[in-house]
Amino acid sequence: MLAAEEIETVGDEANKQELFDPYLRFVEMPFETVFYPLGFPMEFSTNSEDIFQAANECWGEFRRQFDTPPLKIRIGLVEDGSTVCPPGPNARANRGIIVRIADQDNFHVADLAQNDSFAWVTTATVSHRSYLRYHFLEAVALTHIAGRQTAAIHAACVELDGRGVLLCGESGAGKSSLAFACARAGWTYITDDASFLIHGRSDRKVVGNCHLIRLRPSAAQLFAEVDGKPQTQRAEGKPSIELFTSSMPEITTAGSADIDCVVFLNRSSGNAGRLTQFPKEAARRYMHQNLSGLDDFRNQQISSVERLLTAGIFELRYRDLDWAVERLGRLVRENG
């Protein structure tokens, strides 16, 4: 049996251990609000005003579109004085748990089944604002939206005369550049690289981030708006230039579109311009690339993709951007 003074000592040590908090379990997150990324409610909290401001840059312009249970995201800052930006995170998953790790101090854990996430980042990550936004704010929210509420499609989206067009293709196919070229030509801009097909609908509605477009530095050869803009670190080996559409009042934007046509891009200097039918099975394989690992969510996503595949599916071979914009316009009018 412990003596009274021994009990007091043990209690003191327990309190010290709790105050030390090596797992950062008791860090308060006083900066909190509800954001609506892509229109979905999200309860957000952090212990850093800088992270809170960066989150507002990401999601402050979005308004609620969907009445879904809110996802919960907590992002904590560890002030360690670091200055070197971490590498792009690697992702690993097991069923409904997804982990993205840049290094031992910068990581994100998402529990899709519980609709809950937490992340820890260092002062270096927070000081590199575009890296923070892309890898630890946007990625965290979109992990849940793509895992539970939508089927994520690697595609840009534009709209003409109320008819949406998905621009699909692997990295480098020209999705963002063609979407921006369409927007400059009077189309409505929806998103540049990621479109999210909403579950449980009879139409083919997708949502996207119409407030931002990211272009490769080579786009400066095509668009005057890009020339001279600073490059930001999106991921290792993939610098980008960010344009906020709020700074371009001549461009019309919308948060969603109903898809009439799905167009796979084939850009090459040797390609003569041509629009042809694209095999539905090949389109299906492409769209199954990013499906959830949880059976319940995956089945919903497969159903949504099948609904999308009732749209017209085409391949656009092109080398001239202006020709591609004009040909897409004719496609929309022909399918109207």
More confident residue, 36 or 5: 36
Least confident stretch, 214-223, 242-251, 312-321: 214-223
What's the CA gap between 256 and 209, in Å, rounded? 9
- Residue 26 is classified by DSSP as T
Instruction: For the chain, count helices (H), then strands (E).
Output: 9, 20
pLDDT digits (tens, 9 = 90+) for 118-135: 999 999 999 999 999 999
Q: Given this model, what pLDDT does residue 259 score?
A: 98
Taking each helix axis from N to C end, the angle separating 280-287 and 295-308, rounded to the nearest 10 degrees, works out to 140
- Sequence ranges of the domains in the chain: 4-149, 154-334
More confident residue, 235 or 26: 26
- Residue 150 is classified by DSSP as E
Phi-psi group of 132: left, alpha or beta (phi > 0 → left; psi -120 to 50 → alpha; rest → beta): alpha
Tokens of 64: 């609620």
Q: Given this model, what pLDDT does residue 233 score?
A: 62
More confident residue, 21 or 184: 184
Q: Where are the alpha helices (DSSP H) in the chain?
A: 4-20, 49-59, 123-127, 129-131, 139-144, 175-184, 280-287, 295-308, 321-334
Which residues share a beta bridge with 212?
244
Model confidence band, residue 234 (pLDDT cutoffs 50, 70, 90) = low
Q: Given this model, what pLDDT does residue 294 score?
A: 76
Decide which of 3.40.50, 1.10.3470, 2.60.40, 2.60.120 is the CATH code for 154-334: 3.40.50
Q: Given this model, what pLDDT does residue 269 score?
A: 66
Q: Calculate Rg over the CA atoms of the chain.
A: 23
User: Which residue type is seen at 188?
Assistant: T
Q: 308: closest CA among 294, 328, 331, 291? A: 291
CA 147 remoteness from chain centre: 12
| Cβ neighbours of residue 171 closer than 8 Å, sequence gap 6 or more | none
More confident residue, 272 or 20: 272
More confident residue, 35 or 25: 35
Asked whether residue 17 carries a pLDDT value surpassing 60, the answer given is no
- Please give the full DSSP string across 37-89, using - where no structure is assigned: GGG--EEEEES-HHHHHHHHHHHTT-------PPEEEEEEEE-----SPPPPP
